Structure 1
């Protein structure tokens, strides 16, 4: 047990701090679409220039530089549009800095792994904590060359970070590289150009409390009327007073629509974003606002009705309900999902699986769901599992952070608490202690189902092991009490069990049982033949 790492204490995950709902802009007139394209393209050009200026300032940026950029942009748009653009540039630069730090940490982990494996003999067997040596001399030589490449990249990344230099592509680096592989992406040059321009448009504005309907730039009335504040060069396109353009369509939000309406009526801040989906040819409106973070309940209160342990896998969620004593109840459940395809499809699959999980939890009356606090950052590097390409793709494709965030957000209004537990050894110990005992002729328990039981027991504070090995000698308490059967707070947990009168086994010697005085009680069919003679009755003459 000395080699096992210390386990983290389970905790209740905090609730969401914001809400985002989306609806479609239906029945737009051709003139409305043309205005949206012109406004998005004009503001997108300003956003690109401002982001370039922000990246050029690097670490020398301050509040005065931010105000100067906003003043220069105001005559070309408006005061509020300029504020939204400069804030978006600042947030993008900060996000790039965080991604740059994550890239440096990934390079450091890869370099450390290569150096370790280069020092080992060829074909040295590795363990769970550290990989072994390389398989051949050719692979060793190739990794030695790769080590120098990674060291050069690390040096350049550290230099850029010290100077505050970041590399940002408006529209996405992946989409920019797709331009050189149109056949593989099944796109034409015209289709790619439309998608590229749409991604670089800027049509989003932050809300402001106290202003009419919570947003002066993109305004949505309680009746669903959408109006936009036009930039100064496009004011001749206005069809409403004060340089505004009102769209012909009306919108409503099916999800959280009442919350949105309450905020609009109270003139509370709501941020809006207009997005165009080139693949479907549809326009969408997204509304978002901040909410006070829900106060988390104590973990003891959340576990009063038991818990549902959930083990996340590449294609399904394995769940099992546990009672308050940590015993599995009923049969395990599976909630499948498919993580292939575009990001929208993957997100919909995750939401569908989590919806089924929450509905099952509410039907069972359980108020707590236990999930693993997973983080595959250290295991995603190709240097640790170089030859195991399928395994690297597997762990890279599992949306661990998105699943927990999505589950916490969806469970916020259901009264179900999400408990995060340490993921160490759950699959191994679950399969060792629970897979075989829970398997029967009519139920085949998988390793993932057993891991779900282990996760639920860890959330409840119980040990994962079902029981310890029997004491030596004759399996009595002579060698000590089986302490794993009792919780740490139970009195006399370390003592021996009290002596129970009577026989301790089913094999009872003659004259030693509880009914030793009545020998007839030892015979199932009545009186025993060795203590009393037996004679068959004669047949009655009436027959």
Structure 2
């Protein structure tokens, strides 16, 4: 007798927290050649200081302390200013901490690969696998090649563990991808001069942290309500200033079209606003980005989010599959799909995602929903070649889905639209949705895909209902003698045990879609000529 399949524990749904920060951007137009020269000099000077500080922080490793931080800041202050030094050291610490998190994720990926290879190499050649575990390798040659790869991964894992224990991280200012592009200029369609311009641009540092109480919320890079931009120059470049207090005023004016009123309210109240100036080297355009923190949006309780039903959304490689559900978990209307294209450049993919999310949110508000159920997807452990082997197409598919960015963007945009996101466990949603909901909802005018059914499963889990349409029938007979079998409605809902009107698609003859007969019953022939007293139920009257 086979043992029953063990299901993994399903975590409870929760309401996702709203965004904690805001960033808006505008282009710096009509800059004079002198303005661009000053910006390049300031960015290059402060970028050199940032590179030197990051090198010092990486060399300290675990020996870093508050005293070392103060020493680094004092050295930077001599060549810039105290505020610029504080901004540089803060950026250095953030970059070092990010590298440590990426290092840990890399170690976990290597450990998963070593476990998979060890398990498959221990099996006989040609042994078939199961749905939960891969089998042995197909040939002796493949077994030998995988044994060599196992040795390589074990060596990499040992080196990564040694670096982590020593507090050593590997960081490339400007990005490792751009660094490796230097060896593939023809493939990237770049000349050496173009690559050098991008590399130097990525090393610049033109940023200023906000400070509450200072004029317009920032003393290093100041933007006035009329859009005037001025920069506090570092000490070695103070001779370039043409305004009071060592400041340089740009000829450009900024006007934030998105969240402009919110930004204006902050600077008029002298609340902290951080700014960053950067150059888009391929197009030769300068941009200014303003960002500020917001208190974490207080999300509504889960029971309140469920009060007006739910929209279940299944995330796929090319579309969102959404279905509206009422408070009892019943699907309402027809499924909706919002398509997007994740091919092409990063800007194109981002625009496609934003457009699809916008259409989804507008539809959710139009149908009267208050919350959206979304899976807590994370393919970090599912992308390894050791787990999926030759299925390269599937690995590329799940690698191309921006699950983390998609969730963050959806939460942020939903918060601005007055909707909340209920995050659920993604376990078995597609499998159980297709099993319990795909076939019953198919009609001559409605087609149901597995993804549409998964959206229903996600919405029901977000509402706190089981995914199954009905509980198991009673053991002794198929009537409701042992209790009501449906789990569509709660026990306190009136009329939950009543007869349902016939469906429109398969209504019996003589019965209209409203449930009323179109003709009266004929006189029975059992008693000739005798009047018959008809008995009607409450629903038929």
TM-score over 0.5 (shorter chain): yes
Taking the aligned partners of 1:260 and 1:75, their CA distance within structure 2 comes to 33
Matches within 5 A, 1:199-348: 199-348=202-351
1:465 to 468, 476, 498: 468
Matches within 5 A, 1:513-532: 520-522=522-524
Task: After TM superposition, give the deviation of residue 467 of structure 1 in Å.
Answer: 2.2
1:71-105 alpha-carbon deviations (Å, 9 max, x no partner): 11112112211111111111111111111111111
Contact 2:328 2:488 in 1 (8 A): no
Aligned residue for 2:487?
485
1:14 to 14, 17, 20: 17
Say if 1:519 and 1:54 are closer, same or farther in 2 by CA, change over 3 A: closer
1:442-489 alpha-carbon deviations (Å, 9 max, x no partner): 2211111110011001111111111246556763346x4454536686
Relative to the length of structure 1, the TM-score reads 0.89
Aligned residue for 2:381?
378
Taking the aligned partners of 1:318 and 1:279, their CA distance within structure 2 comes to 37
2:401 paired with 1:401: no
Moved more, 8-17 or 120-129: 120-129
Task: After TM superposition, give the deviation of residue 54 of structure 1 in Å.
Answer: 0.7
2:139 paired with 1:105: no
2:74 to 61, 71, 74: 71
SS in 2 for 1:151: helix
2:120 paired with 1:117: yes
Aligned residue for 1:512?
none
Matches within 5 A, 1:122-161: 122-161=125-164
Aligned residue for 1:536?
none
SS in 2 for 1:411: helix
2:174 paired with 1:183: no
Taking the aligned partners of 2:34 and 2:131, their CA distance within structure 1 comes to 62
1:232-269 alpha-carbon deviations (Å, 9 max, x no partner): 12122212111111110110111111111111011111
The alignment's C-alpha RMSD in Å is 2.3
1:348-374 alpha-carbon deviations (Å, 9 max, x no partner): 221111111111111112110000011
Taking the aligned partners of 1:65 and 1:207, their CA distance within structure 2 comes to 24
1:324-352 alpha-carbon deviations (Å, 9 max, x no partner): 12111112111111222232222222111
SS in 1 for 2:230: strand
1:33 to 26, 36, 57: 36
Contact 2:372 2:422 in 1 (8 A): yes
Taking the aligned partners of 1:432 and 1:185, their CA distance within structure 2 comes to 47
Contact 1:21 1:255 in 2 (8 A): yes
SS in 2 for 1:379: coil
Aligned residue for 1:537?
none
Contact 1:207 1:272 in 2 (8 A): yes
SS in 2 for 1:274: strand
Contact 1:468 1:482 in 2 (8 A): no
Taking the aligned partners of 1:358 and 1:519, their CA distance within structure 2 comes to 50
2:364 to 352, 361, 364: 361
Unmatched runs of 5 consecutive residues or more in structure 2: 500-507, 509-519, 531-541
Taking the aligned partners of 2:208 and 2:132, their CA distance within structure 1 comes to 48
1:13-40 alpha-carbon deviations (Å, 9 max, x no partner): 0111111111111121121111111111
Look at both structures and tell me which one has the larger radius of gyration over its CA atoms: 1
1:151-193 alpha-carbon deviations (Å, 9 max, x no partner): 1111111111111000000000011001101111122211111
SS in 2 for 1:383: helix
Relative to the length of structure 2, the TM-score reads 0.89
Contact 1:76 1:232 in 2 (8 A): yes
Task: After TM superposition, give the deviation of residue 126 of structure 1 in Å.
Answer: 2.3
Taking the aligned partners of 2:30 and 2:126, their CA distance within structure 1 comes to 66
Task: After TM superposition, give the deviation of residue 490 of structure 1 in Å.
Answer: 6.2
Aligned length: 504
SS in 1 for 2:385: coil
Taking the aligned partners of 2:128 and 2:483, their CA distance within structure 1 comes to 40
Moved more, 356-365 or 448-457: 356-365
Taking the aligned partners of 1:519 and 1:193, their CA distance within structure 2 comes to 90
SS in 2 for 1:213: helix
Contact 2:123 2:135 in 1 (8 A): yes
SS in 1 for 2:245: coil
Unmatched runs of 5 consecutive residues or more in structure 1: 498-505, 507-517, 533-543
Moved more, 18-27 or 482-491: 482-491
Taking the aligned partners of 2:435 and 2:167, their CA distance within structure 1 comes to 50
Aligned residue for 1:511?
none
1:173 to 169, 172, 176: 176
Say if 1:246 and 1:520 are closer, same or farther in 2 by CA, change over 3 A: closer
Say if 1:349 and 1:486 are closer, same or farther in 2 by CA, change over 3 A: closer
Taking the aligned partners of 1:125 and 1:176, their CA distance within structure 2 comes to 43
